[in-house]
Amino acid sequence: MIIKFRFSRVRYQLIMPPTIHQLADRYLNYILVEKGLAQKTIESYSRDIVRLLDFLKLKNIGAILEIDTRVILQYLTHLRSSGLGTSSRARHLITLRGFFRFLVQEKIIEHNPAQVVELPKRSHKLPDVLSPDEVKLLLSAPDPTSPAGARDAAMIELLYAAGLRVSELIGLKLHDVNLEACFTRVFGKGSKERVVPFGRYARQSLDIYIRHARPSLLKTFTSPFLFVARAGKPMSRQGFWKLLKRYSLKAGITKNITPHTLRHSFASHLLEGGADLRAVQVMLGHVDISTTQIYTHVARKHLKEMHKKFHPRG
């Protein structure tokens, strides 16, 4: 530990170096104020750093200069032993790289110990998708004659029609949807805005919900959110998840359906129908096209099955 001395005519004062916790607070304040990252991103970074601090306490590491590449590797091994998957461990490492890069900029440390550590290689597991017939069964499961059923039908239709993330769906405001032009404005990861079109079926469901069901659900309450639950509160992720599970059982679908399943199905069905990969990338809100390309594997699988089934020598 380095101790600096500040001398004066009368006395000297010990200036202690900042603790790891203090440096972590400075970094989180930096990405909040100067980097302007989204609140959810800040919360994710904060959780990652808190987990690192817990690990350092476990290892009796109390000074920032004690953290080297060996410690970073031990930490990643610890995360894997704790059951974290490849993607989660990669995110943790990205958080650490940013934290130590900040400390280098602030001249707290000389080198970034996390920079030379390679990101865990992600397995390209094909996403689960529904067939078009299964999607039809799911979309027909809600009862549109009841206010709650009309809301649920509109939510599922829009989720599939626009390929939204569930967080984007429940975060929609009433003014984000343009029924006349059939598009919705979406704020995705990092608060990045995009405009996504939807078809006539979603438009019809949304029109019924907005004009009739939504006022019945709100009663005397008001809400800026498009999809509302009790007392004007926005629909929650957990609430929608339970609804989707219930409707999948009602439709007789045996696959394990999540809100993301409909997003996967949206992308796969577009590509199978001949849509341009770049267009699908824009609609999904993917920054890197390599993220979208995983769906081409699903499309190729479908084409191979069609060839085998219908080609004379398939």
DSSP assignment of 37-55? --HHHHHHHHHHHHHHHHH
Catalytic residue among 89, 151, 214, 286: 286
Residue 237 a catalytic site member:
no
Catalytic residue among 45, 75, 247, 295: 295
Catalytic residue among 92, 151, 165, 214: 165
Residue 124 a catalytic site member:
no
Exposed e or buried b for every residue in 137-151, given b needs 16+ CB within 10 A?
bbbebbebeebebbb
Residue 311 a catalytic site member:
no
Using a 10 angstrom Cβ sphere, with 0-12 exposed, 13-18 middle and 19 or more buried, the burial of residue 46 is middle
Catalytic residue among 89, 92, 263, 264: 263
Q: How far apart are CA 188 and CA 221, in angstroms?
A: 27
Q: How far apart are CA 257 and CA 261, in angstroms?
A: 6
Residue 286 a catalytic site member:
yes
Q: How far apart are CA 198 and CA 257, in angstroms?
A: 22
Lookup result for tokens 């029109």: 207
Residue 267: count of CB within 10 angstroms of its CB: 26
Residue 101 a catalytic site member:
no
In 59-165, alpha helices (H): 69-81, 86-105, 132-139, 147-162
Residue 263 a catalytic site member:
yes
Catalytic residue among 80, 189, 194, 302: 189
Name the DSSP class of 192: -
Contact 3, 15 (CB under 8 A): yes
Catalytic residue among 230, 260, 300, 304: 260
* Residues with active-site annotation: 165, 189, 260, 263, 286, 295
